[in-house]
Structure 1
Amino acid sequence: MRQDSLDERLAHRLAALRTEHGWSLDELAVRSGVSRSTLSRLERAEISPTAALLGRLCAVYERTMSRLLAEVESEPPGVVRAAEQAVWRDRASGFTRRSVSPPHAGLRGEVVEGLLLPDADISYDAPPVAGLEQHLWVLDGAVEITIDGQAHRLETGDCLRFRLWGGSRFRCLGTTPARYALLVVLP
């Protein structure tokens, strides 16, 4: 899938969500902590969102990032071939996200592959859905995951499971990329 078409569909969906909630750009800016001008440019597809920006908007709309991205995709098939998995890149932060098993209506779980380049450091103020269950399994490299203020250093093969109630941070450690599988289960 072309990145541009995904960004455009994402922009339209974000504008539609704001309209569905009956919020002005000013009100969404207050709720999300994102400037009105950034929100406006985002909804017009003039800029691509960063992972942190999408995280803030997902929290306001009470959606996981995967669910939001799935809303701009067509209904996923039972088998998702590697070449057909949606990939989203935040080049500014050095983060790539692959929806290995996209979310589906009626199902609570999904699998995401994350890739953090060296020096990548991404923080989220709050979870998109309080109590979100996650299992993070490091496939390659080393990463530091901070959940509610507690840092966990993970290396290849390590797995961290947690319920997300507050802020989180994902930081690549070392000089090689960190690749992980994230299993997400809605409460």
Structure 2
Amino acid sequence: MRDALDERLAARLAGLRVQQGWSLDDLAARTGVSRSTLSRLERGEISPTASLLGKLCSAYGWTMSRLLAGVESAPPAVVRAQEQAIWHDDASGFTRRVVSPPHAGLRGEMIEAVLEPGADIAYDGPGVPGLEQHVWILGGTLQLTDGGTTHELHAGDCLRFRLWGATRFRNTGTEPVRYAVVMVLP
């Protein structure tokens, strides 16, 4: 019986080759691995050695970590409240709960944030240019500046944008503002 990880790895390797538009002969020429071995590997008939994976990763320009992360076990469907990481910055009055943490097999994540009255947080630029964000105000009023445009957001409002430059999150009100941010990798 084939191991589930080996099955996912076989499918991933076959998918990578197809994405590149390479035949088995093309991949064999790039890696020095025989066509028959590559075919058996992609069908899940054999498990790859570390050396073989190293050759394939070199051909695709990937690290082994990146390749294996894409085939690890599926993320849990439910992230229990007690398992969600919470970080609080006393200096800025910002609290961040990771509601749906990142996972190698998923492109999105979700956080819940609370900004205390007077909190003002500026970010010089994105960690991931082009990151898609959806900011949904759950309570209070948030002043969010993205790319030089300032938006006044109230409970129920949702601002959608791609993150390319500096942003600023401000609570100019007298009550905390609570909001959710959904982030999707480009």
Give the alignment's TM-score, normalised by structure 2.
0.59
Amino acid at match of 2:152: R
Could you tell me whether the CA contact under 8 Å between 2:122 and 2:166 is conserved in 1? yes
Could you tell me whether the CA contact under 8 Å between 1:144 and 1:153 is conserved in 2? yes
Instruction: Give unmatched runs, 5+ long, in structure 1.
Output: 1-74
Aligned equivalents of 1:120, 1:164: Cα separation in 2: 21
Could you tell me whether the CA contact under 8 Å between 1:141 and 1:155 is conserved in 2? yes
Structure number with bigger Rg:
2
Could you tell me whether the CA contact under 8 Å between 1:76 and 1:102 is conserved in 2? no
Q: Name the residue aligned to 2:116.
A: 117
**2:172 equivalent to 1:173:** yes
Could you tell me whether the CA contact under 8 Å between 2:75 and 2:105 is conserved in 1? no
**2:159 equivalent to 1:157:** no
Could you tell me whether the CA contact under 8 Å between 2:121 and 2:168 is conserved in 1? yes
Amino acid at match of 2:125: A
TM-aligned CA deviation for residue 79 of structure 1: 1.1
Amino acid at match of 1:137: W
1:60-87 deviation line (CA, Å, top 9, x unaligned): xxxxxxxxxxxxxxx9632111122100
Q: Name the residue aligned to 1:133.
A: 132
Matches within 5 A, 1:73-112: 77-112=76-111
- Over aligned residues, Cα RMSD in angstroms? 1.2
Could you tell me whether the CA contact under 8 Å between 1:143 and 1:155 is conserved in 2? yes
Instruction: Give unmatched runs, 5+ long, in structure 2.
Output: 1-73
Aligned equivalents of 1:183, 1:95: Cα separation in 2: 17
Identity among equivalent positions (%) equals: 65
Q: Name the residue aligned to 1:56.
A: none
Aligned equivalents of 1:108, 1:145: Cα separation in 2: 24
TM-aligned CA deviation for residue 154 of structure 1: 0.2
